[in-house]
Structure 1
Amino acid sequence: MERHQFGAAVRRLRGEADPAAAGLPVAGRRVPGLRREELGELAGMSADYVRRLEQGRSHPSAGVVNAIARALNVGRADYERLCALAGYAAADGQVPTDLGPGGTRLLERFSDTPLVVSDAALNLVAVNSAFLALEHWNLTGARWEWNLAWRHFCDPFGAFQQSSADASDHETILVARLRSAVLRYPADASLAALVDELRSRSRRFDTLWRAPRPVAAYESSATFTQSDGDSLTLVGNLIAIPGDDLAAVMLTAAPGSRDEGRLVEVIGRADGPAVVKVGQPGPG
C-alpha cells in the first residue's frame, strides 16, 4: 500500500511541478507539470523507472527519493512525506524554521488581523503587528519563550484567559501537533529537549502526552486583557501551510460583536511592519 502511495505522491508532485522553474520549455505542453522523461532526466534515471515507481512496481532507495525530491524542487513537508512513504527518515530530520513564501503572504495579506506563524515544533517564527498590539506576549528571556506549548503549560500569560472547555481544546491541539512533529522529526535534538522539558515541568502536559485525546476542532477562544484594563474575546483558527511545514493561527472576533469593534480600535493603534520575524533573541 505504501509503495502505491509513494507512486501516487510522485505523480501528483510531477503534475504540479513548474517546467520553467526546472529550466524546461513551457510552450506546446498539453498537460501541466513535467513529463516522465523530463523527471527522469532531471533525477538521473530512466522514464521507465519513473513509470514503475509511479505504478508502485518498484521500491525506491533513499538516494532515489532524494533525487526525485531535488528534481521536483519540493517543499520540506512534501519531502518528509515522500521519505515516510518510502520507509526512510528524512536526510537531516530537523524541523524547518524558514518562514517561506506561504507564511509571508498570509502575514502580508491579513495585516489587519492578528496572525502568528509557527513551525512544526510550535516555535513562533513570525507574527504581525496586529498580533503584537494585543499586548499579551511578554518576554522572559527563557529558552522557550516563543514556543506556544511551553508558554501555555509552563509559563502562562496573565493577560490570556480561557474557559475550561477552550483550554482543554487548546491543549489537545498543542499536544497532537507536538506528537506529530516528534514522529516526523525523530532526529531533532531541540524538539526532543522541548518535549522533555514540558513533560518534566508540566504534569498536565505529561498526562496528555501519555494519553492523548483526539482533536475535535482546530480552534479555541480566549480573552485578551489590554494594558488599559479592557478586554476582548477572540477565536483562534489553525491554518496549515503544508509546503513549508508551518502553521498559522488567525485570531478573529465574532461579526457584529463588541469585541469586533474593540479589535478594530486595538489594531488601529498597531505601529509596525506586516511581517515581524521572532524567536531568539526576539522581534527583528
Structure 2
Amino acid sequence: MASTEFGRAVRHFRDRANPEAAGLPTGGHRRAAGLRREELALLAGVSVDYVTRLEQGRATHPSGQVVEALARALRLSAPEREQLFHAAGLLPPGRGTVPTYITPSVQRVLDRLTETPVAVSDATWTLLVANPMYTALVGELHGKERNAVWRNFIGPGSPFRYPPHEHEELEIHQVAELRAAARRYPADRRLRRLIDELSAGSDRFARLWESGGTGREAVTQKTIDHPTVGTMTLDCDLLKVASSDLRILIYTAEPGTPDAERLALLGVIGTQAIAG
C-alpha cells in the first residue's frame, strides 16, 4: 500500500537515525544503518503495528502527542520536527502552548548520565523522557501517571516518600507551578484539561488552586522502597532549562554510603531487567 507524506517522512528519518545515539546496542548484524521499526516503537512508546501502519499509510491521522513522541525518538532538529508535524497535517506547538521539545543539549545530558537516574519533564510536571536508570528506579509510567501532579492528587501517589510537612509543601508548589504555567501558556488545551480534571477530582487541589499559595521549590531528598535493592534515600536536584521551560530531575547518592551501593546495584540489575 502506498505510504502518505507522513509515512514517507517517518521512514526517511528512521532510516537516517543513529541507533547508538539513541542509546541502543549496535552489535550484531543490522540490515540497515538506521532504527528498526521495533526500536522506534520502543523509543516512542507506541506499538510496532502502529508504526508499520503509519509508514504504509494505513494510519493517516496521528495525534500531536504521537508526532511529538516520534520526533523525540528520532532525535529530530527543530526544523525537522516542524516538517514532521506539517506532514501529519498538524501545526507544530507554538506560542501559547507548553514546550515539549527535547533540545539536543538536554538530550546530551541524558546520554552522558547513564549511571544516574535522570528524567525530563515539561512545565506541567509531565514526564517527557527518562533514561533507563530512572525507569529502573521508579518503574514504567504510562498515560496520566506520567504527570506528577495527577499522580499526587488523583492517582496512586508518588513512588517516593517524604515527611508529611514536606509532601504538603510540595503539593502547594506543584499547584502554584501549574497556575503559573496556565498564565504562560493560555492556548494550551491539554493543560486546561488537566487543570479541569484535577479541580473536579480532588477537593484538595481545588482548594489549593483557589488559595494562591506558592510552597517550596522542591523536596531535596526523597526515599524510595525499591522492591529489588531495598530502601534508598537519594538527593534530588531539579534543573530548569529556561530556554525551553523543561525540568531535569537528577537523583544521586553520597559516595561510600549504603544508598550509593544500592543505587550502583540497581544500575547493574535494574537496567538489565528493562533491557530483557
Given the two structures, how large is their TM-score scaled by the length of structure 1? 0.57
- Distance apart, 1:235 and its partner CA: 2.8
Tell me the secondary structure at the aligned position of residue 161 of structure 1.
Answer: coil
Tell me the equivalent position of 2:100. Answer: 97
Alignment of 1:168-247 (within 5 A): 168-228=168-228, 230-247=230-247
Amino acid at match of 1:99: I
Structure 2 distance, partners of 1:240, 1:159, is 22
Tell me the equivalent position of 2:17. Answer: none
Tell me the equivalent position of 1:162. Answer: 162
Structure 2 distance, partners of 1:249, 1:128, is 11
More contact order relative to length (CA 8 Å, sep ≥ 6): 1
Task: Using the aligned pairs only, state the percent identity.
Answer: 32
Tell me the equivalent position of 1:269. Answer: 269
- Name segments (4+ residues, structure 1) moved above 6 Å: none
Change (3 A) 1:169 1:108: farther
Alignment of 1:36-51 (within 5 A): none
Provide the aligned C-alpha RMSD in A.
2.6
- Please list the CA deviations of residues 147-199 of structure 1 after superposition, one character each: whole Å capped at 9, or x if unmatched: 11111211134743222122123223322221111010011111000011111
Tell me the equivalent position of 2:88. Answer: none
Structure 1 distance, partners of 2:192, 2:159, is 29
Change (3 A) 1:173 1:114: farther
Matched residue pairs, number? 182
Change (3 A) 1:217 1:185: closer
Structure 1 distance, partners of 2:216, 2:159, is 26
- Please list the CA deviations of residues 33-58 of structure 1 after superposition, one character each: whole Å capped at 9, or x if unmatched: xxxxxxxxxxxxxxxxxxxxxxxxxx
- Distance apart, 1:253 and its partner CA: 2.3
- Distance apart, 1:107 and its partner CA: 0.9
- Please list the CA deviations of residues 207-262 of structure 1 after superposition, one character each: whole Å capped at 9, or x if unmatched: 22111333434333322122237211223221001122211111122444321211
Tell me the secondary structure at the aligned position of residue 124 of structure 2.
Answer: coil
Tell me the secondary structure at the aligned position of residue 223 of structure 1.
Answer: strand
Q: Which has the larger radius of gyration?
A: 1
Amino acid at match of 2:267: I
Structure 1 distance, partners of 2:158, 2:189, is 30
Amino acid at match of 2:149: A
Judge conservation of contact 2:173–2:215 (CA < 8 Å) in 1.
yes
Judge conservation of contact 1:170–1:220 (CA < 8 Å) in 2.
no
Give the one of 117, 121, 132 matched to 2:120.
117
Change (3 A) 1:108 1:181: same
Structure 1 unaligned blocks of 5 or more: 1-74, 76-89, 277-284
Structure 2 distance, partners of 1:158, 1:92, is 31
1:148 aligns with 2:151: no
Tell me the secondary structure at the aligned position of residue 243 of structure 2.
Answer: helix
Change (3 A) 1:159 1:243: closer
Structure 2 distance, partners of 1:227, 1:158, is 15
Judge conservation of contact 1:161–1:224 (CA < 8 Å) in 2.
yes
Amino acid at match of 2:211: A
Structure 2 distance, partners of 1:114, 1:228, is 16
Judge conservation of contact 2:221–2:236 (CA < 8 Å) in 1.
yes
Tell me the secondary structure at the aligned position of residue 251 of structure 1.
Answer: strand
Tell me the secondary structure at the aligned position of residue 115 of structure 2.
Answer: coil
Change (3 A) 1:105 1:138: closer
Structure 2 distance, partners of 1:153, 1:234, is 23
